[in-house]
A and B are shown apart, each in its own frame.
Chain A
Amino acid sequence: MSRFFRQAGDSDSDSDESEELMSSGDEAPQAKPPTGAKTAMSRFLRKTGPGADSDSSSDSDSDSDEDSDSDSDVPKPKKGLPLRSDSEDSETEEEEDRQGIRIMSAQEKRLAEMEGTGKAMENALKINDWVSISNEFDKLARMIQRQHNVSEPIPPFYIKTLLSLESSLTSAIAKEKEAKKKMNATNAKALNSMKQKVRKAAKEYEQDIAKYQADPDTFERDYTALITRDAPPAPTVARAAIGTAAVTNEDEDGGFKPVGKGGRTMLLTAEGIFKSLQAVQEARGKKNTDRGEQIRILEKLLELATTTYQRIRVLLALVSSRFDYNSSASSHMPTELWISAQNEVDQLVAIVASNPAFIVQEITEDYDDLVERSPASEKGGIVRIRGSIISFIDRLDDEFTRSLQNIDPHGTEYVDRLKDEKTLYSTICRAQAFYEQTKQDDPLSRVVMRRLEHIYSKPDAVVDALESSAESADIKPAITLTSSGSTSALIHSLCVYLYKSGNSLHRTRAMLSHIYHYALLNDFHTARDMLLMSHLQESIHSADVATQILYNRTVVQLGLCAFRSGLIKEAQATLQDIFTTQRVKELLAQGVHQQRYQVLTPEQEKAEKQRQLPFHMHINTELLEAAFLVSSMLVEIPLLASIDSEELKRKAISKPFRRLLDFADRQVFTGPPESTRDHIMQASKALQDGEWEKCRDLVQSIKIWSLMPEAASVKEMLAKRIQEQGLRTYLFTYAPHYNTLSLSLLAQTFSLPLRSVTSIVSKMIWNEELAASLDQAGGCIAFHRTEVTRQQQLALIIAEKVNSMAEQNEKALDAKMGTSGGWGDRADGKAGEKRGEQVQERRGRGDRTRGGSRGGGRGRGARFAQGLGNQMGHTSQRAG
C-alpha cells in the first residue's frame, strides 16, 4: 500500500526518525502512538515480524496467529477497494498488481485485515444487520489492540471507520425511533451495545479523531510517513519483491535475515533491548497477549543481549514468560518449554555465579528499567536486579512434578520424562552451590530441601545416577555424594543443614525425610527413635497437608521397615492406624478417594489432584496391605485362640483384619485363592487349624512379595514366624484336649528345634497364658486345667463387674473434679486454691490408705490419689 510514499520519502523519514529518537525517547509511548518512542519498537518488530510469521505458519501453535491467517484470506485488497477514498485508488491498484509476487509485511497484512473487517461492516450496514456489525467491530477493536501491543500507530483507516460508524449509528437510531418495532430484539440490542462501544472507542481515540477531523490528509500522511520509515531499505525489499513466488519461504528468511542482522547491528543499543523488554513485560498477563510470540521475542532478545546486565534481565523475563505460557493450573507445561526454561535457569545461575557484581534479589531499590547498568555505575559496585532465582527453581520443580502427575505412568512418555529429573537435579545442585557461594541462607535451605526431596525416597543406585550428573557440573555444592561417601551420609548432612536452619517447616520435612530414609534402609530402631524423639505425632495435625502426607508416608514406610526386619508386632502396630481409616490411598496421596455420601466440589477435587504424588514415588498399597494383613494374622490368630469367652473375643487388636476374617468365615464356598486377601484369609484359617505348612505355602505364594526388596529373606522370616505362631495357636486351641504333651513331638510337628519349642512354651507359662508346667524329667508339658463350675464362673464374673464398677466411679469422680477444677480456676481463683489444698489433703489420705491396707488396696490408693490430680499422669502410669 505504501510503496509509493515510502520510496518517495525515504531519506526524509530516516532523518526524522533519528531526531525523534533523540528528542522523545522518554515520553510515554502509549499516549501518543505516532511518537518516536514507538518507532524504535515498531522498527524492531518489523524486523522480527516476518520471521515470526513464517515460524507461526509452520508451527501454527498459537490461536491468534491462526486467526490472523484465516482473516487475512478474506480481506484481499481487491475487496477492500470500495473502502478507499478516491485519492488512494492508484496505489491500491499498484499494490494489487503486485499481490502475486510481493510478500506483504506483517504490518500490511494487519492493515489488510482491518480493511476487510471494515468492508464487512459496511456491507452489514447496508442491510442494517447490527449484530454482525457488532461482531465485526469487536474484531476490529481486537486488531487495534494488537496494533497497540506491537506499538504501531493507529491507522487512519480505523479512525475513519469509527467516524463513519458513529454517523451511521446516529442515523440508524434516529430511524429506529421514527419507525417503531421495525427491528427485532437481538438487532436492537446489538445496536444499543454498538452505540456504547463506539462511544467508548471514540473517547479513547479522541485526540486522533480530532486531529483527523481537522485535517484528514495530514493525519494520513503522518501515518504513512511513520510506516515507511520503518520499512526496510529499498534495495532488499526490492530483491525480495522481485523474487518469485516459488521461493517465498526460503527467500523470506534468506532475504530478510541479512537485513535483520544489519538492522540489529544498527539497533543494538542497550535501549532497544530494554524497551522491548518493557513492552513485553507490560503486555504480560493481559488478555489477548500472544504468549508464544512473547517468548520468541525474548529469545531473539537474548541473542541480542551483550552485556551481563542485559542477559540477566532478558533471562529473568524469558524464564518467567515461559512459566506463564500455560495459564491454567490443571495442565502441565509442555516438555520442550520446560527443558528450555531449565536450560535458561542454568544459564542464569551460571552468569550470576560467575559475576559476583550482579545480584538478583526479590526486593531491591527502585531503578530505571530502561537504563543499562553496570557495576561501575552502581553504588558499592554491585548491581542489584529484581527477580528471584529460587522461585524459578521452585517452579521448575513443581512443573516437573505436575507433568509427571499428568502423564500416564504406564507409557514410555513417563519414563522419558523421568529422565529429565537428572538434569533438574543438577540444576538444583548448581543453585545450591550458587547460594552457598553467596551465602544466602533462606533460599539455600529451600534449595537443599528440594534436593533432599528428590533423593530421600530413592534407592542408592538412583541417587548415584542423580549425583553423578550433579557432579559433572562446573559448579558443585559443598555436600556431594563423593564428599559424604554414602547416600545416607549425604542425606544425613543435608538434613543436618536443614535442622540448623531456622525454618521450622523445613526442619519438620527434613526430619520426616530423614526418618523415611532410615526406614528405607531397614534401620528400624534409628528411624523409630527419631520419630518418637521428634514428637512430631503431637503437632502433625496442625501441619500443612503436604507435610501430613509426608508424615503418613514416613509412618507407613516405617511399618514396612519393621515388617522387613521381622518385627511383626511393631509392623502391625504401626500400620494399624492407617488401615483402620480405610483410606490408605488417599492418606498417602496416591489416589483420590471416592466418597459415597459426599460430593467434592470441583475446587476440592482439583486441590486433591494437585497433591497426588507422581507414580514413581508411590508406595505399593497392595504390598502394604499384604504386609499389614500378614502381620495382623500373626498377632491376631494366636490371640483369638487363647481367649475362650465370647465377650473377650470382641476386643480385637486389628479391626480390619478381624472384619475380613469374619467375612471369610461366613462364606459358604471357598475357591482357590486369587487375590492377596484371599491368600491371607485362607492362610489364617489354616493357621487356626494348626496347619502351619499350608499357611506358610499360602503366604509365600502371594505374588506381591516380589516387589519387596530382599523378598527371599522376608519369606524365610515369615515362615519362621508362622511356625512359632502356629505352635502357640496349636497349644491354645488344643490344650484342653491333652493331659500331657511331648515336647519332642511338638518340635517334630512344627519342625522347630526342641530348644525353641521349650523356650516358647516356657514363655507362655511364665506369662500365665498357658496353665501348664514342664515336666523336665519326662520331657513333656503337663496341663493343669481346672474346670470351673457354673457357679464359680458366675462368681468370678460378678467380682470382675464389681471391680469395673468401682473403677468407673473413680473415673467419674476424676472427670468431675478435673473439669470443675478447670472451671473453678477460670471463674475464681479462690475456689481453685481451695481445691488445691483439698487435693493435697486427699493425697495425704491416699498415702495413709496405702499404709493401712497392705496388699490389695495398696496400689489402688496411690493410684487413686494421683488420678484425682492429674488424669493424664495416671493413665500414663498405668500404661507404663
Chain B
Amino acid sequence: MAEYDLSKTIIPYLDRHLSFPLLAHLVETGVFSADEVQVAQYELAKGTNMFDYAASLFEQIYPNQEVPKEFEQKRVNAVSTHERLQQEAQAVLDVIENPDVAQALRQDKNQNLQYLKDNYKLTLDQITALYNFGKFQYSYGNYSGAADYLYHFRVLSTDPDLTISAHWGKLASDILTGKWDIALEELNSLREAIDSRSPAPFASVSSNTNNTPAVDPALSQLHSRTWLVHWSLFVYFNHPQGRALLLETFLSPTYLNTIQTSCPWILRYVAAAAIISSPTPTSKSTAAPQSSRVKNAVREVVKVIQMENYQYTDPVTSFLMQLHVEFDFEAAQKELQQAEKVVSDDFFLGDFHDEFLESARCLVSEAYCRIHQRIDIGCVLTHSAFPFLDIRRYSDLSNRLNLPRDEGEKWIVNLIRETRMGQDAKIDLEKNLIQILRPPQPVYQSVIEKTRGLAIRTQTLGAAIARTGVAQAASTASAPPSITQPVAVN
C-alpha cells in the first residue's frame, strides 16, 4: 500500500513539529520499515530544540554508539537562551496580566500600544520579545506555553508579518496540544487573515502583471492557502464537526482552485469527507442540519475528481469515479476494497474507517436502487452491501458484509426504511428478489413543485421595488447636507 501513502507528499507542507505525529503513525502502520522511519524522525528532531527526544531516538537507532556531544552543548545554549528570553518576555507579561491594563485595552491596536508605552514604558521591541519567547518554546516542544505567548503577542503587535507568523505558530501549538475547538477558531481567523490580506495587492498586481517583483502576492497567497489546507486536515479530522466544515471550506471556489492548482492529492480527503458525511441509515438523520454544499458534496466532489482525473487518482477517488461516473458497480466494489485499506492506513482517515465503509456502502446501494427496478439479491451481494438481498446466497452476503446472517437482514431492512429513496421496496423472499416500485411522479405534483416558490419570490420583489422607491426619495431629499465617502455596492 506504500504507493498510496501520502505522508511523503504532505510532509513538505507541514511544520517540522507537525510531522512527528505523521511519522509516529507510519511506525504503527508498518507500511515502511520501522528503522527507516526512525531515522527520519531522528533527522527531523535534530533540527529542533528537543534534544532529549533526539538523543533518545539516536540511542534507539544506533544502540551501540555514543550520543553526540553537540546535543549537550546545544542544550546548554538553549537553556541560557530560554532564560534570557523569558526575562524579556516576563516584563511584558507582568504588565499585561495586570487587571487594570487588561481593562484599558481596546480594539484599536495602535491605541493600545500608545497606552502601554505611555503608562508602562513598553516598547515594540519588548512586545516582540513575547513572539521570540513563544517561538522558542515551540521549538523545544512546550506547545501550550508557546500558544499563550503567541496569543498575547498577537493581541498587541501591529507588525502584519509577525502577526501572521504568530498565527501559524499558535495554530500549530493548538493542533499539537490537541485543543481542537481553539485550533478551529484559530484556523478560521488565520484563514480570514490570509484571504483578506492579499486581495488588495493582488487586484492591483493582476492588472499589471508585467512588472511584478520577485514575490508575487498572488503566488504567496497561493502558498499560504496550500499550507493552510494541509494544516487544517489535522483540525478537520479531529474536531467533531470537522468533516462538514472541511467540505464547506475546501469546496469553496478559492480553496477548490488552490487544491486543483497546487495539491490535487487533498482530493482524497475531500472525497473521503464527502463520503463520510453523506447520510447513512445508521446515522440518525436528526443530526444538525447540513448546508446545501455539504448535502451535494458527493456530486460536487465527483465533478472535481472527474476534472482532475488526469492529475491524481487513488482508490478513494476512483471509487467515486466508478460509482458515479462509470456506474460500474463491480469495479466500484473492487476500488472500495482498496480504498478501505488506504483509509485505515491513512493518518487522518484512520479513525473514520468504519464510518467510511458504512457510508460508502450506502452510496453504492443508493445508486443501485435508483437505477434498478428488480434486483436479484444474490447479485447485489456480490457487489457490495446492498439493501435488498437475495437470501439464496445469504452466506455470500454475510461474507461480503462481514455480518452475521441475522444482522445482515436487519441491515437491509434498515436500509430500505431509512434511505432517502423513500420508494417502496420490498423483499420477495420467494423469488429472492427485491422489487422497487417507483411510481412516476404525478404531473400535478411537478406543477406544484415548480410553482411553489413563486409567491414568495414575487412578494420579495414587490417589497424591494417599494423600498427602492422610498429610499430613492429619501436619498434625494437628504442628499445635500453631508457628502460622505461613496460606498461601493459590493
Q: Chain A interface (Cβ within 8 Å of chain B)?
A: 502-504, 507, 525, 533, 535, 755, 758-759, 762-763, 765-766, 771, 773-778, 782, 784, 786, 788, 792, 795-796, 799-800, 802-803, 806, 809-810, 813, 817, 821, 824-825, 828-836, 838-839, 841-842, 845-846, 849, 852-853, 855-861, 864, 868-870, 880
Contacts and interface: CB of A to CB of B under 8 A. Distances in A.
Given A755-B328, A856-B453, A777 B489 contact: no
7 contacts: A525-B311, A763-B325, A763-B326, A776-B375, A830-B482, A836-B489, A853-B456
B452 A855 contact: yes
Contact of A773 (B371, B471, B474): B371
A870 B453 contact: no
A870 B489 CA distance: 8
Of the listed residues A502, A782, A802, A833, the one surrounded by the most CB atoms of chain B closer than 10 A to its CB is: A833
Given A763-B327, A799-B451, A502 B210 contact: yes
Interface string B460-473: 11011101100110
B379 A776 contact: yes
B484 A796 contact: no
A813 B465 contact: yes
Contact of A857 (B456, B467, B484, B490): B456
Nearest to B446: A796
A834 B458 contact: no
Residues of B contacting A: mostly: helix
Interface of B: 206, 209-211, 253, 261, 292, 310-311, 324-328, 330, 367, 370-376, 379-380, 431, 433, 436, 438, 440, 443-444, 446-447, 449-454, 456-458, 460-461, 463-465, 467-468, 471-472, 474-476, 478-479, 482-490
A870 to B, nearest CB: 5
Contact of B443 (A788, A855, A864, A870): A788
A762 B369 CA distance: 11
Contact of B483 (A778, A810, A830): A830
Contacts of A845: 460, 463
B479 A869 contact: no
B478 A776 contact: no
Contacts of A502: 210-211
Contacts of A777: 374-376, 379, 431, 433
B371 A774 contact: yes
A839 B330 CA distance: 52
B312 to A, nearest CB: 11
B438 A784 contact: yes
Nearest to B376: A777
Contacts of B449: 856
Contacts of B468: 817, 838
B371 A766 contact: yes
Nearest to A854: B289
A784 B440 contact: yes
A318 B328 CA distance: 73
Contacts of B452: 855-857
B376 A776 contact: yes
Nearest to A818: B489
Contacts of B488: 825, 832, 836
A799 B457 contact: no
B79 to A, nearest CB: 47
B213 to A, nearest CB: 11
Of the listed residues B379, B476, B487, B488, the one surrounded by the most CB atoms of chain A closer than 10 A to its CB is: B487
A842 B467 contact: yes
Contacts of A788: 443
Nearest to A822: B489
Contacts of A503: 210
A782 B437 CA distance: 12
Of the listed residues B211, B292, B310, B478, the one surrounded by the most CB atoms of chain A closer than 10 A to its CB is: B310
Given A762-B327, A810-B457, A828-B483, 12 more contacts: A504-B210, A758-B328, A766-B371, A776-B374, A776-B376, A776-B380, A777-B376, A795-B447, A825-B486, A842-B464, A853-B456, A857-B457
A800 B451 CA distance: 8
A504 B484 contact: no
A713 B450 CA distance: 47
Contacts of A842: 464, 467
B471 A782 contact: no
Contact of A775 (B310, B373, B443, B444): B373
Contacts of A855: 452
B421 to A, nearest CB: 12
A792 B443 contact: yes
Contact of B209 (A504, A809, A825): A504
B443 A795 contact: yes
Given A759-B327, A857-B457, A860-B457, A774 B372 contact: yes
A834 to B, nearest CB: 4
